[in-house]
Structure 1
Amino acid sequence: MSESPVVLWSRPESERAGTPLLVMFHGYGADEADLFGLAAQLPAEFTVASIRAPLQAGPGRAWFPLRNDLSYTPDSVTEAAAEVEAWLDTVRGGHTSVTLFGFSQGMCMATTLLRHRPADYAAVVGLSGFVVEADGDPWFDDAATAAAKPEIFWGRDQADPVVPAAAVEYTNTWLRAHTKLTKVLYTGILHGINAQEMAHVGEFLTLKVLKP
């Protein structure tokens, strides 16, 4: 990723100041346009920024190699997060808060950023995704995260065919120990998102970010 990643914005720069910022992280093999259509279903107060991941993955992009790829390491996750954090530090000052929204591998990115500087974020929305295992990497300040108890919405389908059961179990345990968790299960979305889930996300964001 270059210092300035490719970003789709829901408003022109002249209209962003003083708004809450919501940053979207797409899933593996997708791109910044994949989730951007959901911006219209979120509370209108937010400025939405959808970021393109740095790595090529088939026709789309990836934040880091898949866990079963030999090039995967925790460093590959934190390096991608550090570049996003550096970019975020250039724009966050113009916004009243920053919320992170990640789908699938994008949820890993959102929660990895949260675990480095939990005080920086108003809330996290994670859909059909998981939390990476820190494996002792000092980037992950899980003690500070547990102390802050950030607000997290985690939505998924128990029949999701993509995310491994072990990753789901680890994520469930980690989220319950470190966050204020709003967990909702959906039937029939598999590895996807539906209108009911987006309505719940909108309610969560209104309650936890706009009217805390």
Structure 2
Amino acid sequence: MATDYTVEWSRSESEREGTPLAVLLHGYGANEQDLLGLVPGLPQEFTYASVRAPVSMGFGAYTWFELDVERLAYSSSAARQAVEDLWEWIDSVRGNHSSVTLIGFSMGMAMATSLLRTRPEAFAAVVGLSGFAVDPNRGEELEGYFDDDALAAQKIPFFWGRDQEDPIIPGEQIDYTHRWANQTVKLTKVLYAGAGHGVVPQEIGHINEFLTATVLKGQR
């Protein structure tokens, strides 16, 4: 049975046909409203779809899969299932659009990079904000799941924005993500002092420029 996602769209259904799609994936403990504040500062040619994670934590908070926030520990099988479920939804809407781009914050970046690594040919670009990429060596369910060789051959444009002093994401996760990104994607990495575990206005401007250059320029 497919997961029934709650999605906040920036356009009505009649206005979406043929537009580039950007899927917004929020972080742990947030919901589909969390990243909508980015949309006014991003290219308006896109249709934006902000997806609510399926696991309720109560009080309007959701997660993509259960997470031990102290250690950033999680079940590899749960993480893989979350990716598989989200693929079903993406496949159900992607035919209406000229391309698909992912924008993920924190845990949403882990989801975005995992989607990218399973089917890199499906995406025009990916934006990761204050997050990390999943290390497949952390669980047997993820061994052989990602196709990083195919991703390296594609060199998909990837924007990674973060604060060097981010208090949430552990250094070992950052180190792994840095190694992974340098080996597999066409990386644009920008550090934002004072952002903490968040997104600053300058960063939104840089994402706008990135999406315009990497996605829209090729479609005009």
**Alpha-carbon shift at residue 142 of structure 1 (Å):** 1.1
- Structure 2 length-normalised TM: 0.92
Q: Are positions 1:205 and 2:192 aligned together?
A: no
Instruction: Provide structure 1 residue ranges, at least 5 long, that are not aligned to the other structure.
Output: none
Q: Is the 8 A contact 1:157 1:190 kept in 2?
A: yes
AA of the residue aligned to 2:9: W
Q: Give the match's secondary structure for 1:177.
A: helix
Q: One-letter code of the match for 1:200? A: H
Q: What residue in structure 1 maps to residue 184 of structure 2? A: 178
Q: Residue 115 of structure 1 corresponds to which residue in structure 2?
A: 117
**Secondary structure of the corresponding residue to residue 34 of structure 1:** coil
Paired position in structure 1 for 2:155: 149
Give the letter aligned to residue 116 of structure 2.
Answer: L
The range that moved more, 127-136 or 106-115, is 127-136
Task: Give the partner amino acid of 1:175.
Answer: A
Return the match for 2:146 from 140, 151, 163: 140
Q: Distance in 2 between matches of 1:190 and 1:142?
A: 29
SS at match of 1:32: coil
- Find the aligned partners of 1:2 and 1:93 in 2 and give their Cα distance: 18
Deviations 1:42-69 (A, max 9, x none): 1000000000001123531111222547
1:165 to 145, 162, 171: 171
RMSD of aligned Cα (Å): 1.5
Supply the AA of the counterpart residue of 2:49.
A
Paired AA for residue 63 in structure 1: W
| Equivalent in the alignment of 2:108 | 106
Structure 1 residue 2: deviation in Å? 4.9
Normalised to the residue count of structure 1, the TM-score between the two structures is: 0.95
